[in-house]
Structure 1
Amino acid sequence: MIGKTGLWVLLCIMLTSCAMPSAKPARLNASNAKPEVIMETFLRSFVAYDYERCRSLLADGATITIIRQDGTQEFERSMQSATDWLNTIEQSGVKGLDTFQIEIHDITSQTHRHGATVTVKFTASGSAPGMAFANSGFDTGNLIETAEGWRIAHYSSFESFSGSE
């Protein structure tokens, strides 16, 4: 028969032999990631020029809207398929920059029966020979649950942009 001390020792051995969590951060498993993780991953992948990763986080038929104020009272507006937008950026966009970074200040998320809405407050900056830019604003993703997990159905960026040469 095992006494109280023996029982405690046995319990401690059992608990310490259980798999402990790894000290290494796990690679994103987009099939079970929360909506806010999908949005942050999309932004960070975009800045890293990882457009394939960005595409993998989009729902079929995803769209993107950009509303940008460029130092005046006028707003530039565009809406297109997210795939077309990424293709354009990939061919002629931000890859020519020497530096490109984003700072995420806040992420809020609301989940509802239709999906989730995630808003990211950010600032970004970059430079290339003879020019520099900064922008700040809010990116909002409307996400839906698919067989592959949460995916971005509509991405909207509302930003203030300034540049110099």
Structure 2
Amino acid sequence: MAALEELRARVPAGVRQLTAIPTLGPKKALVLHRELGICTVDELAGHPTTRLIGRRPGIDADLDAVFAACARTGTALEINSHPDRLDLRDEDILRARRHGARFAVDSDAHAMTHLGNLRFGVGTAQRGWLTADDVVNAWPLERLRRFLDKRAGTADRGRPRPTGAR
């Protein structure tokens, strides 16, 4: 029993949470934590496949389980508009929408010149058959505040970030 407690102390709680996603497993969860600073389903929703087009393929995870978890917890999935990522793909967006997930279209701007990338995310969202009702950053301010207020009750507040996390 002491060995189990020692192991739990060494493995961040978020990594244990990620292993609940079928097909992700402990090794992939640890890689996501160590290399990308991803510790929770919420953070995974920001880069669901972690792909970099032409440089790194997406992870082999049960995205339907990720989408269902996001829908259940009220976590908006990011549609990353940067041409190096374009994550989620349109077919993934369609699948996630069927689970009841919400989305946020993000430019992933790291410089002013990147703000124009938003059009790629909007196009991807349209190809995934999203409407403004599905995209939280297209909502009126009061509706967005209500959504965020609900999320605040389930957020993982005060959790230390791993070294190198963005």
Normalised by the length of structure 1, the TM-score is 0.27
Larger Rg: 1
Using CA pairs below 8 Å that are at least 6 residues apart, which structure has the higher relative contact order? 1
Higher helix share: 2
TM-score, scaled relative to structure 2: 0.27
User: Which structure dedicates a bigger proportion of its chain to strand?
Assistant: 1
